[in-house]
Amino acid sequence: MTYSKWIWVCAVLAVVGCGGPPPPTTAGGPEPVAGGAVFRYRNQDAKKVYLVGDFNDWSPTADPMTDDNADGEWTLFYPLVPGTYAYKFLVDGKNWVADPTNPLSEPDGFDGRNSILKLGVPGS
**What is the predicted pLDDT for the residue at 122?**
79
Give which of 119, 53, 115, 50 is closest to 83, Cα–Cα: 119
pLDDT higher than 80, residue 2: no
CB within 8 Å of 59: residues ≥ 6 apart: 50, 52
Between 16 and 83, where is the model more confident?
Answer: 83
Adjacent-strand bridge partners of 83: 119
**What is the predicted pLDDT for the residue at 27?**
57
Q: For the chain, what are the domain ranges?
A: 29-119
- What b-and-e string marks burial along 74-91, b requiring 16 or more CB atoms within 10 Å of the CB? bbbebebeeeebbbbbbb
Q: What is the pLDDT of residues 25-67, one digit of tens each?
A: 345 899 999 999 999 999 999 999 999 999 999 999 999 999 9
**What is the predicted pLDDT for the residue at 32?**
96
Q: What is the pLDDT of residues 79-119, one digit of tens each?
A: 999 999 999 999 999 999 999 999 999 999 999 999 999 99
In angstroms, the CA 6 to CA 14 distance is 12
CATH number for domain 29-119, candidates 2.60.120.330, 2.60.40.10, 2.40.50.140, 1.10.3720.10 = 2.60.40.10
What's the whole-model pTM score? Answer: 0.76
The separation between the first and the last C-alpha atoms of the chain, rounded to the nearest angstrom, is 46
